[in-house]
Chains A and B, each alone.
Chain A
Amino acid sequence: MYKKILTVVAVALLALPVFANGDSEQKTGGTFVPTQNIEWYCTSSPGGGSDIFTRTIQDIMTSEKLVNGQNIIIQYKTDGAGEVGRALVSTLKGTKADYTLLTFNSGDLMPMDKNTDRRFSDFQPIAHMAVDNHLIFVTPDSRFKSFKDVLAALQNGDNVVMAGSKGDDIACHAALIKELGVSADQFAFIANDSSGTAVTSILGNHVDLLICKPAAASQYVEAGRLIPILALASKRFPGNLQSAPILSELGYHDVEVPNWRSVVGSKNMSPEAVAYWTDVFKKVSQTSAWQDGYINKQKLVADYMDSVTFKTYGSKFEADYLASIGK
Chain B
Amino acid sequence: MHNLILLGNGLLNVLSIQNLLVTGLGAILGLMVGAMPGIGSLAGVALLLPLTYKFNPTTAIIMLGALYYSNMYGGSFSAILLNIPGDSPAVMTTLDGYPMATVKKRPGQALYTSNLSSFIGGFIGIAILIFMGPALAEFGLKFGPVEMTALLLVAMTSIGWLVGDNPTKGVVLTLAGILVATVGMDTLTGSPRYDFGNVFLLGGIPFIPFVIGTVGFAQVMKLIDEKDVGTKTVVEGKMSLKGSLLSRHELRRLLPPAIRSGFMGTFVGVLPGAGATTGSFLGYAMQKGFKSEEPLGTGAIEGIAACEAANNAAAAGSFAPLLALGIPGSGTGAVLLGGLMMWGLNPGPLLFSSQPEFCWSLIASLMLANLLTLAIALGIIPWITRILSVPIKLMIPCITIVCIVGSYSSTNSLYGVIVMLISGVVGYLCEKNGYTTAPMLLSFVLAPLLESNMRKSFIISHGSISIFFTEPIACCFMIVLLAIIATPIIRGILSGKKR
The chain A residues found within 8 Å of chain B, CB to CB, are 1, 4-5, 7-8, 11-12, 15, 18-19, 45-48, 51-52, 55-56, 58-59, 73-77, 79-81, 83-84, 87-88, 111, 114-116, 159, 161, 166, 170, 185, 188-191, 193-194, 196-197, 199-201, 203-204, 206-207, 219-220, 222-223, 225
Closest to A298 in B: B341
Complex Cα gap A1–B228 (Å): 10
Minimum CB–CB distance from A78 to chain B (whole Å) comes to 8
Complex Cα gap A223–B53 (Å): 27
Which of A19, A45, A166, A207 is within 8 Å of B408, CB to CB? Answer: A19
Minimum CB–CB distance from B148 to chain A (whole Å) comes to 10
Q: Residues of A contacting B459 with CB < 8 Å?
A: 161, 188-190
A interface secondary structure, majority: helix
Are A84 and B190 within 8 A (Cβ)? no
Complex Cα gap A73–B396 (Å): 34
The chain B residues found within 8 Å of chain A, CB to CB, are 42, 46, 50, 53, 141-146, 184-185, 187-192, 199-200, 202-204, 206, 220, 224-225, 229, 272-273, 321, 325-328, 331, 333-338, 341-342, 346-350, 396-397, 400-401, 404-405, 408, 411-414, 456, 459-460, 462
Q: Residues of B contacting A12 with CB < 8 Å?
A: 400-401, 404
Q: Residues of B contacting A19 with CB < 8 Å?
A: 408, 414
Are B53 and A59 within 8 A (Cβ)? yes
Complex Cα gap A8–B401 (Å): 9
Are B338 and A52 within 8 A (Cβ)? yes
Are A206 and B460 within 8 A (Cβ)? yes
Closest to B338 in A: A47
Which of B191, B347, B460 is within 8 Å of A115, CB to CB? Answer: B191
Are B327 and A199 within 8 A (Cβ)? yes
Contact A47:B328 (CB < 8 A) given known A81-B185, A115-B191: yes
Q: Residues of B contacting A76 with CB < 8 Å?
A: 46
Contacts A8-B224, A51-B338, A191-B190 aside, 16 further interface pairs with beta carbons under 8 A come to A8-B220, A11-B400, A19-B414, A46-B334, A55-B341, A80-B203, A83-B185, A84-B199, A84-B413, A114-B190, A190-B145, A194-B334, A204-B144, A206-B460, A207-B144, A225-B349
Are B190 and A190 within 8 A (Cβ)? no
Complex Cα gap A116–B327 (Å): 32
Complex Cα gap A59–B346 (Å): 18
Considering residues A52, A58, A200, which has the most beta carbons from chain B within 10 angstroms of its beta carbon?
Answer: A200
Contact A219:B349 (CB < 8 A) given known A12-B404, A15-B404: yes
Complex Cα gap A207–B199 (Å): 33
Complex Cα gap A84–B416 (Å): 12
Q: Residues of B contacting A197 with CB < 8 Å?
A: 272-273
Complex Cα gap A203–B46 (Å): 27
Are A191 and B189 within 8 A (Cβ)? yes
Closest to B346 in A: A219
Complex Cα gap A48–B346 (Å): 13
Contact A200:B327 (CB < 8 A) given known A15-B401, A47-B335, A166-B190: yes
Q: Residues of A contacting B53 with CB < 8 Å?
A: 59
Are B185 and A200 within 8 A (Cβ)? no
Are A75 and B462 within 8 A (Cβ)? no
Are B327 and A219 within 8 A (Cβ)? no
Q: Residues of A contacting B396 with CB < 8 Å?
A: 4, 7-8
Q: Residues of A contacting B460 with CB < 8 Å?
A: 161, 188, 190, 206-207
Are A75 and B192 within 8 A (Cβ)? no
Closest to B227 in A: A1
Are B185 and A80 within 8 A (Cβ)? yes
Contact A52:B400 (CB < 8 A) given known A159-B462, A207-B460, A223-B350: no
Complex Cα gap A191–B455 (Å): 10
Minimum CB–CB distance from B43 to chain A (whole Å) comes to 8
| Sample (28) of A-B pairs whose CB atoms are under 8 Å apart | A8-B220, A8-B396, A12-B400, A46-B335, A46-B338, A47-B333, A48-B334, A55-B342, A75-B412, A80-B199, A83-B185, A115-B202, A188-B459, A190-B145, A191-B190, A196-B328, A196-B334, A200-B321, A203-B327, A207-B460, A219-B326, A219-B349, A219-B350, A220-B326, A220-B349, A222-B348, A223-B348, A223-B349
